[in-house]
Structure 1
C-alpha cells in the first residue's frame, strides 16, 4: 500500500523568517538556519522544527533531535545544545501561526471530489436558488428553492441546503451536512455530518399521549464559527437558536432549541445543551458536560469535563462536578470522600 502525504511539503524556510511570522526572537542566533519539516518532540530529526509548552515533557525536550524549537523564555535554557531555541510569548499560539503559514490548505476542509470550481454536473440546484460567482458545489449536493450562497463557499459532496437557507461568503459545508431553517454568516466551517435547523425536541406530555409542539424558530450561525462533525443544532421553538461569532464547537455536540451561545465560546465533544439555556461570551465547556435547560452560564465561566450544570453559573467562575459547583468546593468534596474511603478500608483491614 502506498503512503500518501495529504498536505504538500513546504519549501525550506529560514528561522529568521519564522521568528518574524510568530513575533519571536532567537536568543542564541541561528537566523540563517533553515527548517524543512515539522514534527513532535520525540519524533523530530534534523531539519524539523518543534514546539515545547508543557513542563511534563522536559525529559523529551532534552533528547529531541530537532533543528529548532519554539519555546517560552522561561524554558529557553532547557533547549539542548545543537537545537536552536525560538522564544515566543505563547509557544502553542506561535506553533498554530507557523502551521497556518506552512500548510494554508489545512485551514479549511479540502475538496472531496474533483470539482475545483463551479457546480458539479452531478449536483442538484433548484432553479430559484441564488449562488454568487465563485461558489463550488460538489457531486451529490442538493441546494433547495430560494436558498442563497455567497461567493467563495464550498458545498461538499452529498450536503443538503434546504429551502430558503442563507449561507455567507467563504464558508465550507461538509459532506453529508444538512442545513434547514438556518442563516449562516461568513467564514463559517461546518464539518461532515453537521445538522442544523431540524425540529427541537418539544412535546406537551400527558397521560393520553405527547402532543408535538410546532418549532417555528430558526438557527442563526454568526461569522467565523466552526462546528465539528456530527454535531446537531435544533431550530428554535418560538425564538431563534443562536451561535455567536467566533465560537468553536467540537464533534458530536447536541444544542437544543432556543439555546443562545455567545461569542468566542469553546464547546468540547459530546456536550449536551438543553433548550433555552444561555452561554454568555467566552464560556468554555469541557467534554461530556450536560447543561440543563433555562440556565445561564456567565461570561468567561469554565465548566470542567463530565460535569452537569443544573443552576446558573456566575461570570468568570470555574465549576465542575455533578451537580456542578465551584471547583474549590468540588475538590474538597473529592478529597473528603477519598479520606472516608481510606478510613473505611483501614477499618476493614483492622477487623481482618
Structure 2
C-alpha cells in the first residue's frame, strides 16, 4: 500500500478526487480504489475498484492487510510487576516491565505494553491499548477501546497554586481523570487530574500528539484536537469541536458544540455553537479575513495618514498667516 505517486507494481493505492484523473495513466499501482469518475478507463497494467466511499474502503482494507503493532497472545509476562491486589480480567495482556499497582483493574482483552505504569485504583477498560511508557496515575479511568500512545501522561497534578505571603503555595490536586470510550490520545499528550472531581474526555474524542488538557476541563464527545493544542483549567468544550494546531483556550472559557478553532487561535472568552474562529484574540473567521486585508495594506495606509497630517498642518499654517494679515 502506498500513495498514488509512490505506488509501484504490486501495490494497492487510493484515489479520492477527480484531480487525479489526468494523472491516472501514470499511476503504476496494480490495484487502484477510486470513486466512479466520468471518462474513466482502466489501463492494462492495473485493476480499478470503484466504490462510493473511498475513505470507508481504505479503512476496511488497511484493517484487513495490516496487523496492529502489538499482540494479544503475550498474556501476562512474568517480567511485569502486577500487584497481588490488582485485577486482570479475562484476556488482559501485560508486557514485560509494565507496572500495575494495587487496586488497578485491567479490562478484558486490554493491552498494557512495556514500561507502562498503571497507578492505584486506576481502571483500564475492555480492549483498551496503552503503548510503551504511558503513565496512568491513581484514580484514572480509561474507557473501553481507548488507545493511549507512547509517553502520554494521564492524571498528573493540575497547575493549581495560590499566592500566600509572596510565595506560590500548591493546592492539593485530589481529583481524577475520566476518559471515555473509543478515545485516542496521542504521544506525549498530558491530561491533568482535577483539583476536585474529574477532568473528563468524552466518548470518541481524538487528541493528537503534544496536547495539554488542564485540570477540571470537560471535553465533549467526538472532538478532534491537532498537535500542541492547549486547554487551560476548568474549560468546557462541547461535542464535535475541532481545534487546529497550537490553538489555545484560556481558563474557564466555554467552547460551544461543533465550533471550529483554526490553527493558533487564542480563545479568551466564549465561542458560540457552530462558530469558526481565528486569530489571537480569536474572532469570527470572516472578520479575521477582513482584518488581514487591512494588515497587508498597513504600510500604504500609514504613509497616506502621514501625508494627510502634513497637508493638514500646511493648511492650518496658511490659515494662521491669512488671519494675521487681516
Which residue of structure 1 aligns with residue 169 of structure 2?
211
Which residue of structure 1 aligns with residue 80 of structure 2?
123
Confirm or deny: 8 A CA contact 1:219 1:241 kept in the other structure: yes
Alpha carbons of structure 1 residues 211 and 150: separation in structure 2 relative to 1, 3 Å:
same
1:238-257 matches, within 5 Å, as: 238-257=196-215
1:4-153 matches, within 5 Å, as: 38-53=1-16, 60-73=23-36, 75-77=37-39, 81-82=43-44, 83-103=46-66, 105-106=67-68, 109-111=69-71, 116-153=73-110
- For 2:7 and 2:152, how far apart are their aligned partners in 1? 36
Which deviates further from its counterpart, 116-125 or 312-321?
Answer: 116-125
Which residue of structure 1 aligns with residue 135 of structure 2?
178
Structure 2 length normalisation: TM-score? 0.86
Alpha carbons of structure 1 residues 57 and 321: separation in structure 2 relative to 1, 3 Å:
farther
1:307 deviation in Å?
A: 1.3
Q: 1:304 aligns with which of 252, 262, 267?
A: 262
- For 2:154 and 2:41, how far apart are their aligned partners in 1? 47
Alpha carbons of structure 1 residues 54 and 166: separation in structure 2 relative to 1, 3 Å:
same
Alignment partner of 1:291 is 2:249: yes
- For 1:66 and 1:214, how far apart are their aligned partners in 2? 59
Q: 1:202 aligns with which of 140, 153, 160?
A: 160
Which residue of structure 2 aligns with residue 264 of structure 1?
222
Which residue of structure 2 aligns with residue 158 of structure 1?
115
Q: 2:185 aligns with which of 200, 205, 227?
A: 227
1:185 deviation in Å?
A: 1.3
1:138 deviation in Å?
A: 1.1
Alpha carbons of structure 1 residues 209 and 262: separation in structure 2 relative to 1, 3 Å:
same
Spell out, residue by residue over 1:55-103, the C-alpha distance to the aligned partner (whole angstroms, 9 max, x if none). 6655644521223333334x45366644544333332333222211222
Confirm or deny: 8 A CA contact 1:233 1:255 kept in the other structure: yes
**Any idea what SS the aligned residue of 2:298 has?**
helix
Alpha carbons of structure 1 residues 96 and 342: separation in structure 2 relative to 1, 3 Å:
farther
1:211 deviation in Å?
A: 1.4
Segments of structure 1 that go 5 or more residues without pairing to the other structure are: 1-37, 348-352
- For 1:227 and 1:248, how far apart are their aligned partners in 2? 6
Which residue of structure 1 aligns with residue 283 of structure 2?
325
Confirm or deny: 8 A CA contact 1:145 1:164 kept in the other structure: yes
1:295 deviation in Å?
A: 1.0
Spell out, residue by residue over 1:292-350, the C-alpha distance to the aligned partner (whole angstroms, 9 max, x if none). 11111111111111111112111111111111111111111112211334667999xxx
- For 1:205 and 1:97, how far apart are their aligned partners in 2? 55
Alpha carbons of structure 1 residues 95 and 326: separation in structure 2 relative to 1, 3 Å:
same
Superposition RMSD in Å: 2.4
Please identify the structure whose Cα radius of gyration is greater.
2
Alpha carbons of structure 1 residues 254 and 128: separation in structure 2 relative to 1, 3 Å:
same
Segments of structure 2 that go 5 or more residues without pairing to the other structure are: 306-326
- For 1:146 and 1:45, how far apart are their aligned partners in 2? 52
